[in-house]
Structure 1
Amino acid sequence: MRTITIKPAAITHNLNQVKALAPKSNVLAMVKANAYGHGVAAVLPALQQADGIGVATLREALEARQLGWDKTIGLIEGAFTIDEWQQAIEHDISCVIHHAPQLAWALEQIPAADSATRVVWIKYNTGMNRLGFNEQTLVPAAKSLHDAGYQLILTTHFANADDRSHPLNAMQIQRFNDMLSILRETISHDIKGSLCNSAGIVNFPEHHHDWVRPGIMLYGSAPVIDQSAHELNLQPAMEFGAQIIALQTVSAGDAIGYGSRWTAEQDTKTALVSIGYGDGYPRVVNEDAYVTVIDTNNESYRCAVIGRVAMDMIVIDVSAVPGSSALNSKVILWGDAPHVDEVAVHAGTISYELLCRLSLRPQRL
């Protein structure tokens, strides 16, 4: 059996950690990419104490509305067409506006005064150099939106917030704070600010402003490079599991799997686990990769992943597991141990990618 077990209580716990770190800020909880692979339907009930949720596409926003989410929804890339802008108005979705076409749609079709779409997140490019108005174009765009009756939230996105010491962070913070001051002085004192993602929430507590936008930390992964999830008191919200389906002893000198990348130095007891890259476990992991085996006596063992990961199975070294209890034992690919952050390091990637690329094959619990 292949399973993905979601723990809503962990998500609520992590949300409470965000609120403790940013007690004066509203929280826009990011649930884009199917809640970072966790499943929007499973996650939304755990986020009821958030002030809103953030999504990347209109389809995601509409799904959240269909699931009964009646608070703020922020469409963080905004509408892609004027038809999407109209749908945003219809479903009370608040949009980011980051370039001229979106500005034009907002000025051409102004929502009713009580519409949530009257709140717009105007994006300022402070150094990420993806989306957003520059210093010259943002002020007139903000003024035209305010004059048309919109409530404004100035927002931007860090490029290096996970690394507190990166010099661009200070520059982005300064640019953002300067622009927010200009907007409040020249247009309206009521303009709000939103600067911090998960890493910013942890690393820059003095710059939380009116809204924070936690993402990966809600799901129990560390957003910064110098502190672990455990050190940040974050709980993993997902356990990725499988089971041992066969046992064999590989003789010294024999190789295992495609490419014969691993060769036994001595007779080695191995196990086949019913998981592979077809389920979302990374195909390439280094020699430090391991899983946790929980045998039929409920004892836990750390077991190395050996050989190349295949589509449907992996091989692990179960020399330490008593022979009579290994078959059909539960295998944890990530969860409490190993943590998904560890697996990401072994795979040369980040936890975001591992969580988001899980396939539909594992049973979700």
Structure 2
Amino acid sequence: MRQATVYIDSQALQYNFNRVKQLAPNSKIVSMVKSNAYGHGVEACLAALDATDAFGVACLEEALEIRRLGYNQPITLIEGVFSEDEMSHVLEQKLECIVHHTQQVEWLIRHKAAYNALGLKVWVKLNSGMNRLGFKLAEIIEVIQRLKTEGFTCVLTMHFANADVDHPLNDQQIEQFLQVKQACAPILASCCNSAAIYKYPELQFDFVRPGIMLYGASPFADKNVHDLDLKPVMTFTAEIIALNQIHSGECVGYGSSYAATCPSTIAIVSIGYGDGYPRAYTRQNFVAIGQQLVPVVGRVSMDMMAIDVTNVTAELGTQVELWGQRRLVDDVATANGTIGYELLCRLSKRPLRKMI
């Protein structure tokens, strides 16, 4: 059997959740489990996150899956409903909505009696500069005041565009958020994602919304998970299925883009872009065998890749860590010119998944 395997460490996930509690002791935690728990498998992860105050998802389908699995915590639809027809499911399953445009507000008000009777909060999104979703500063105060008049309990929320770096837009976003919060007081508030939980403890307010940090990847380009006292949750492995001895000048893989500069031992690993492992790299990439990093050579194929094991002990069946404990997913992502979030989320269903 092909041994491409994704291991999910539930204890590491619980550890990272407890790190959020340490960092934001006075806030409730909305654990983000959208996109199949960032590619980790939502069913596998929910039990480890059972102590969370609430879950955050992108759409109704993700919320319904959580309810089918038997979890009763509040769930926030972070993009809100996409049509008024979805409001029946919202009420039936006791889901909380973000509103970010006027039509959503109207749909909600038409169902205010049932929504408010269930004690559900409505999250009102401020577009403070990211320009994705939300009401601009000039209109959001009126929206919140109207919702309050209709009997809703509101949560003011926004999303940082640059919480992971020092950027002048951060100050603008914070200023706008605090201005609205003061104008609409009293009101619940939430603006901290993973990066902001670390960077802006003074802005943690009533709810924090950790995502990538729960899964043991870093929201910062200049800090790894060890710097943040987090533990990788996913370890992605495969096995060596062939060993080739090649001479100096011989090539490896499609396009013959790699040529050996000396006699080399090349191992073929049972993994490729068909499994979600990235194909193209802007800089040298590595995998780990034991505690040693070894280079990826040639182009990654759909089902296989080549690594240079000339200087390590390797044989048929040797396990190779593609990312996880020794080779961090964020380092693979950097070599690929992307971010760890993308690599985790785009894994295919082909690798076997195991809880450890």
4+ aligned runs moved over 4 Å, structure 1: none
Specify whether residues 258 and 333 from structure 1 end up closer, same or farther in structure 2 by C-alpha distance, changes over 3 A only: same
In the TM superposition, what is the alpha-carbon distance from 1:250 to its structure 2 partner? 1.1
Alpha-carbon distance between aligned partners in 2 of 1:201 and 1:313, rounded to the nearest angstrom: 39
Residue 152 (structure 2) aligns with: 150
Deviates more, 1:137-146 or 1:336-345: 137-146
Task: Please tell me whether the aligned partners of residues 307 and 315 of structure 1 are also in contact (alpha carbons under 8 angstroms).
Answer: yes
Output aligned runs, 1:240-259, within 5 Å. 240-259=236-255
Q: Deviation string for 1:30-68 (max 9, x for gaps)?
A: 000000000110111111121101000100000001111
- Deviation larger for 154-163 or 278-287: 278-287
Aligned to 2:296: 305
Matches within 5 A, 1:157-196: 157-163=159-165, 165-184=166-185, 189=186, 191-196=187-192
In 1, the alpha carbon distance for the partners of 2:86 and 2:260 equals 58
Cα shift at 1:288: 2.4
Structure 1, gaps ≥5 residues long: 295-299
Q: Which residue of 2 aligns with 1:297?
A: none
Taking the aligned partners of 1:354 and 1:145, their CA distance within structure 2 comes to 39
Structure 2 residue identity aligned to 1:235: K
Alignment of 1:122-271 (within 5 A): 122-163=124-165, 165-184=166-185, 189=186, 191-271=187-267
222-231 or 193-202: which moved more? 222-231
Report the secondary structure of 1:278's partner residue.
Answer: helix
**RMSD between aligned alpha carbons?**
1.1
For residues 178 and 75 of structure 2, what CA distance do their matches in structure 1 show?
Answer: 25
- State the aligned residue count: 351
User: Structure 1 length normalisation: TM-score?
Assistant: 0.94
Residues 102-126 of structure 1: per-residue CA shift (max 9 Å, x gap): 000011111254415x310000111
2:295 and 2:203 mapped to 1: Cα distance?
43
- TM-score normalised to structure 2 length: 0.97
One-letter amino acid of the structure 1 residue matched with residue 38 of structure 2? Y
- Three-state SS of the structure 1 residue aligned to 2:86 is helix
Counterpart pick for 2:346 among 357, 360, 365 = 357
1:99 aligned residue (93, 98, 101): 101
2:310 maps to what in 1?
A: 319
Separation (CA, whole Å) in 1 of partners of 2:199 and 2:283: 32
Letter of the structure 2 residue corresponding to residue 363 of structure 1: L
Cα drift, residue 302 of structure 1: 1.9
Contact 2:98 2:123 in 1 (8 A): yes
- The 1:290/1:204 distance shift into structure 2, 3 A limit, reads same
Cα pair 1:287 1:305 within 8 Å, conserved: no
| 1:10 partner letter | A
Distance in 2 between residues matched to 1:183 and 1:220, nearest whole Å: 36
